[in-house]
A and B are shown apart, each in its own frame.
Chain A
Amino acid sequence: MTTTLDSTIAKKQETFLSHLLGNQAFWVFIAIIVASLFLSQATDAYATTKNLYNISRNFTFVAIIALGMTIVIITGGIDLSVGSVLCLCSMVLGVVMHAGYSIEAGIAASIATALIVGAFNGILIAYIGLPPFVVTLGMLSIARSLAMVASGNTVVFEFGPDHDKLLSLGGGAWFYGIANPVLYMVVLALLTGFVLKWTKFGRHIFAIGGNEHAAILTGVPVRRIKVAVYMISAMSAGIAGIVQTGWLGAITTNIGTGKELDVIAAAVIGGAALAGGIGTAIGAVVGAALIEVIRNSLGLLGINAFWQGCVIGGAILVAVLFDRIANYRRAD
């Protein structure tokens, strides 16, 4: 045996460069840079402070939920209820504040609602063994219906004594002119990245997605972690709902409709594998950013908005193909 202990420990299969080149989030990031360079040449409107401010603020709601979704996807699950949960949580916040309670009470009620919904999903999935797709599809319907019940299907736009606080929470920009939602997203992304990389909980999330049976055999508390994961996903939708309410200044019962598909698209474009075991926080953010850049640029380039679906759909397919090709090369 010529190899020493230290060389064995240090030995890696990949160099930093090959790791970067095999990283989907990196390529999505490159795509955003290239598109941005092109658009700043092609149109005068793209590289303006106002437009960049808008882009950065618009994609944060999808990105925040995509962080939670990525965690669910890493365990091999899916959460289709996030769009409706966003609506329900916004509505709970609106109704509580409209009734004259403080913003703190509104946010607490809203987050509590999210956690209950997430725990409900998680328990059905982890303890009863129902498929995540079906459970969260049911919740998609239930949560939106509850939002209608809570509000009487009206638009809420008066938020009681703390009305202004709520609007500045979502609409303000107190840090170097960066929109508040962007700040929240950055903090949440850093937190998610930390949890995935540096905690036992994060390690177990990957283990469940890689081989659930093995995780059970090695004593990982699989069921509890699964419940936690769906609670996190619902909470991310709740946080996005609260921030978005502050930004929009009004809540209707159809906000967040179809948002789950944008969120899943963002996670997948960012490199999360629906089969489980793979995904990153940074991927969720750049995936969401790419979708928004595509939307924005098509508008600025004067291309009919009907083409948006084609381009975003194409991006999803390219992302999945990229993953396939990268694996194919490695298998050689």
Chain B
Amino acid sequence: MAVLELKKISKHFGAIEAVKDVSFALEAGEVIGLMGDNGAGKSTLVKMIAGNFRPNSGTMQMDGREIVLHKPVEAREHGIEIVHQDLALCNNLTAAANLFLGRELKTGFGPFKVLDYAGMYARAAEIFVELKSETRPRDLVKKMSGGQRQAVAIARTRLSNAKIVLMDEPTAAISVRQVAEVLNLIRRLRDQGITVVLISHRMPDVFAVADRVIVMRRGTKVADKAIAKSSPEEVTGLITGAIETV
């Protein structure tokens, strides 16, 4: 059964139809590349899955049960996490502090509770080792490379045991070597049985890591096929409109 299934989802802002009758299903442990030009409806679609927008029509089902998301918090409660393009990290805090931001562990007895530094360092280290990242819990984020920052942002989704991770342009602003690091992080998530939706402009990254590619153009889904059966040329054609649909 699909982890998440979208059925005929539409969203319009006034007269502008941002997303029109889009349907697809996401399976567990699958990496999906979501591609499309600026204004094709990718972000609107992702924001509906993340609970930022409510669709005007259509339904969403998780594990066969219909869900309605009013707020991002509700999406998170259903196990849908988003890694924002700017990563939403605090430079002045350590990796562990960022990881646990808003859900800090505490220790002590009765009403006398203090931050559990040891516990948070230990859990953070576990997650970084699991992700095979070289990020260390006590490092300040401002001294980290782009890849390590991504690792911290992705580690947050592990903390909450997310089922679906939406990644918004994770490789847009980092160096070539770090891109490889981030792609490895995505593979680690997939190996844990997590579904990853990779929103990206970068064709090579999508073809390197995704199992399936969904192409959006002018608010509609124009392609949804296995990476092995497609090619960068075909996807480029679909994005620009040179190829109508497949």
Complex Cα–Cα for A3 and B87 (A): 27
Q: Which interface residue of A1, A9, A217, A278 has the most chain B CB atoms within 10 A? A: A9
B127 CB to closest chain A CB (Å) equals 11
Within 8 A of B (CB), among A192-220: 197-200, 203, 206-207, 209-211, 213-215, 217-220
Chain B residues positioned under 8 Å from A3 (CB to CB):
129
Complex contact A206–B90 (CB within 8 A): yes
Which A residue sits closest to B101, measured CB to CB? A218
* Contact pattern, A 1-20, Cβ under 8 Å of B = 1, otherwise 0: 10101001101110000000
Complex contact B102–A199 (CB within 8 A): no
Complex Cα–Cα for A324 and B72 (A): 39
Complex contact A12–B138 (CB within 8 A): yes
Chain B residues positioned under 8 Å from A1 (CB to CB):
129, 132
Chain A residues positioned under 8 Å from B84 (CB to CB):
217
B58 CB to closest chain A CB (Å) equals 26
State how many residues of chain A have any CB contact under 8 Å with chain B.
28
Which A residue sits closest to B156, measured CB to CB? A218
Chain B residues positioned under 8 Å from A203 (CB to CB):
93, 97, 101, 104, 115
B199 CB to closest chain A CB (Å) equals 17
Let me know if B114 is at the binding interface, CB within 8 A: yes
Chain A residues positioned under 8 Å from B132 (CB to CB):
1
Complex Cα–Cα for A125 and B245 (A): 51
* Contact pattern, B 106-123, Cβ under 8 Å of A = 1, otherwise 0: 100000001100000110
Which A residue sits closest to B90, measured CB to CB? A210
Complex Cα–Cα for A9 and B139 (A): 10
Chain B residues positioned under 8 Å from A5 (CB to CB):
122, 125-126, 129
Let me know if B15 is at the binding interface, CB within 8 A: no
Question: Given A8-B125, A200-B115, A219-B102, are A277 and B91 also a contact pair (CB < 8 Å)?
Answer: yes
Complex contact B126–A13 (CB within 8 A): no
Complex contact A8–B136 (CB within 8 A): yes
Q: Please, could you name 10 A-B residue pairs with CB atoms under 8 Å apart, sorted by A?
A: A5-B125, A199-B114, A206-B90, A206-B92, A211-B90, A218-B88, A218-B101, A218-B156, A219-B73, A220-B101
Chain B residues within CB distance 8 Å of chain A: 72-73, 84, 86-93, 97, 101-104, 106, 114-115, 121-122, 125-126, 128-129, 132, 136-140, 143, 156
The 8 A-B pairs with the shortest beta carbon distances in the complex, nearest first, are A210-B90, A277-B92, A214-B88, A210-B92, A218-B102, A219-B102, A198-B114, A9-B125
Q: Apart from A11-B139, A206-B93, A207-B97, list 5 A-B contacts with CB within 8 A.
A: A1-B132, A13-B143, A197-B115, A210-B93, A213-B88
Chain A residues within CB distance 8 Å of chain B: 1, 3, 5, 8-9, 11-13, 197-200, 203, 206-207, 209-211, 213-215, 217-220, 277-278, 330
